Chains A and B, each alone.
Chain A
Amino acid sequence: MADLGPDDVQRLAAALSLSLSAEDAVEIAHRLNAFLDALAALDPLPLDRVEPWPTSPEGSA
């Protein structure tokens, strides 16, 4: 997947009614691209066999 740039980030933020400075948009693009890479790395994992329930203090271990 191609990396997002500051302009992409500005448009995404605008959809949430958030206005960003140019400096913020540059760094947020780096941070968001890092997230997208980290989460894309999950694709090969067997994620469909589990339900996404979070936790329980009376856990089953």
Chain B
Amino acid sequence: MAYEPRGIRVNRTEDDLVFAGAARQAALMREKRVSPRELVTAYLKRIAQLDGRLRAFITICRESALAEASRAETEAAKGEWRGPLHGIPFAVKDQLDTAGILTTSGSALLRDNIPPDDSTVVARLKAAGGILLGKLNLTEFALGGTIRFPYGQPRNPWNPDHDPGGSSSGSGIAAAAALCSITLGEDTGGSVRSPASYCGAVGLRPTWGRVSRHGCFPAAWSMDQVGPLTRTVEDSALVLSLIAGYDTKDPTTSHSAVPDYRAALAAGAKGLRIGVVTELVDGAETHAEVRSAVREAARGLAKLGAAVEDMSLSFVHHAGGVFMALCDSEAAGRHRLWLGTRPEEYDTGTRRRLIAAGLIPAMSLHRAARARAVIREQVLSALTKYDLLLAPTSPHPAPPIASHTAPVTSKEEAARRFFGRRSYTTPASLAGVPAISVPCGFTAGGLPIGLQLIARPLAEASILRAASAWEKAAGLASRRPSLVDLPAHA
């Protein structure tokens, strides 16, 4: 699909450095062609220039990041390397605990919350040499549907009047606008994949249990999963290799060995069996430009050697409603006390969402739990025939922010706004299987389109090798949002 980048970049060399993938930056660091302090400083400068408008960050750890960069630089000069991310700046969704640093989960209720310890994923990135640059904005309590963001309205880097996706909004923005090297988000029903799709980034939801959730504020325990949001598939593989694996602090984590996901990329898409989910690709809700881009990607993967054919997941259109009932009722239970004692501190959209789910009759919820099992069975059954399922990440490109801040005026509108698009990402969530969103094109208006690939449990390597092959063939990773003409927004 044709796309012409807008705007002018003033400093091409610095632009190339900040947009380079973390794997490339790490290699440059080992070659002494860039230092940790140079990289951290470049991102801090970029954040100062752009984030007043994009609002990706809630907290910027400027002083500690510079101190860590100096330490990393001293160590590198002595040939001491902590790990694959030595000197690489990262930022995480503000749903993840960081020792001694404000962690709000995007809510005014937690405006004073400073956890004593790091979440396991943050500790693992630090142990690999990563430098925490800041905490990223999100929809309140990672639930989606926030109307007034207490820490600033996050905006899409490709068009600031449009939604960046959620709930890991800041992670998607920071990855796409190159405000740090790598980010982490959390995906319950699409919260990593949706911002990846809307912002033109790569977002991976790992298998449920592949990555520790210790220190992550919960939305729905049986679906929450931390995952990377990055600019390249290679970086996604790099980050997953570092954060995956059993954690004594999270008993739901898998004991399975963690493969070298980057090494798997070389295998490409050849020989993979891919099923195209016709209900999602050709459904009435799917925007014509999204359908066209996703079909083009399917043809592209076939040219790369995959065996691609159409298939059906007949229950998939129930997934959005089933997911929302199960996730939101669980979240309502978690928030029960605060909803009674501090309701005015919630965003209006969050409060209404939680209370509505809290009033669903138990008999209906039990049916939803059984429907989840049926959807799960259908997804897993399909994945015995196919290595990957292919679908759009979202039925449409990023909508205008104004389109979802107005009050809900009918049950039909509620179903359309809250259930419809979620039927695209929640089948993987309900089934507990891994899924990725990788860019597959742009609309005529210049908004990114995301391709979703879904695999069987613990088969992230299959997803990553297909996504990497497609990414290279499509050449979309080199496209950058023009950020110079962003209007100033509060």
Q: Which residues of B contact A27 (CB under 8 A)?
A: 352, 407-408
Sample (13) of A-B pairs whose CB atoms are under 8 Å apart? A28-B359, A34-B419, A35-B325, A39-B322, A39-B367, A40-B364, A42-B368, A42-B370, A54-B223, A55-B430, A57-B208, A57-B256, A59-B433
A18 and B355: CB pair below 8 A?
A: yes
A31 and B377: CB pair below 8 A?
A: no
Q: Which residues of B contact A18 (CB under 8 A)?
A: 339-340, 343, 355, 358
B414 and A30: CB pair below 8 A?
A: yes
A40 to B296, CA, bound (A): 37
A45 and B371: CB pair below 8 A?
A: yes
- Interface check B372, CB cutoff 8 A: yes
Q: Which residues of A contact B361 (CB under 8 A)?
A: 36
A55 and B356: CB pair below 8 A?
A: no
From B325, B351, B370, B413, A47 is in contact (CB under 8 Å) with: B370
- Interface check B292, CB cutoff 8 A: no
- Residue of B at shortest CB range from A19? B343
From A17, A34, A54, A60, B415 is in contact (CB under 8 Å) with: A34
- Interface check B353, CB cutoff 8 A: yes
Please name the 8 residue pairs, one residue from A and one from B, whose CB atoms are nearest each other, closest first: A57-B209, A38-B321, A55-B432, A59-B457, A52-B369, A31-B356, A34-B414, A33-B411
Q: Which residues of A contact B418 (CB under 8 A)?
A: 31, 34
Q: Which residues of B contact A59 (CB under 8 A)?
A: 207, 380, 431-433, 456-458
B339 and A38: CB pair below 8 A?
A: no
From B358, B364, B366, B456, A36 is in contact (CB under 8 Å) with: B364
Chain A nearest CB from B411 CB (Å) reads 4
Q: Which residues of B contact A61 (CB under 8 A)?
A: 380-381, 383-384, 433, 456-457
A31 to B418, CA, bound (A): 9
Q: Which residues of B contact A53 (CB under 8 A)?
A: 373
- Interface check B149, CB cutoff 8 A: no
Q: Which residues of A contact B366 (CB under 8 A)?
A: 52
- Interface check B254, CB cutoff 8 A: yes
From A23, A37, A58, B254 is in contact (CB under 8 Å) with: A58
- Interface check B376, CB cutoff 8 A: yes
- Interface check B252, CB cutoff 8 A: yes
- Interface check B435, CB cutoff 8 A: no
A56 and B352: CB pair below 8 A?
A: no
Q: A47-B370, A55-B432, A56-B209 are in contact. Are A30 and B409 (CB under 8 A)?
A: yes
From B340, B352, B410, A24 is in contact (CB under 8 Å) with: B352
From B223, B325, B457, A58 is in contact (CB under 8 Å) with: B457
Q: A59-B380, A59-B456 are in contact. Are A34 and B411 (CB under 8 A)?
A: yes
Q: Which residues of B contact A60 (CB under 8 A)?
A: 380
A11 to B372, CA, bound (A): 30
Q: Which residues of A contact B407 (CB under 8 A)?
A: 23, 27
From A23, A34, A35, A56, B432 is in contact (CB under 8 Å) with: A56
Q: Which residues of A contact B325 (CB under 8 A)?
A: 35, 38-39
B373 and A41: CB pair below 8 A?
A: no
* Residue with the greatest number of chain A CB neighbours at <10 A, chosen from B254, B372, B456: B372
- Interface check A22, CB cutoff 8 A: no
From B256, B348, B370, A50 is in contact (CB under 8 Å) with: B370
* Residue with the greatest number of chain A CB neighbours at <10 A, chosen from B373, B409, B433: B373
- Interface check B81, CB cutoff 8 A: no
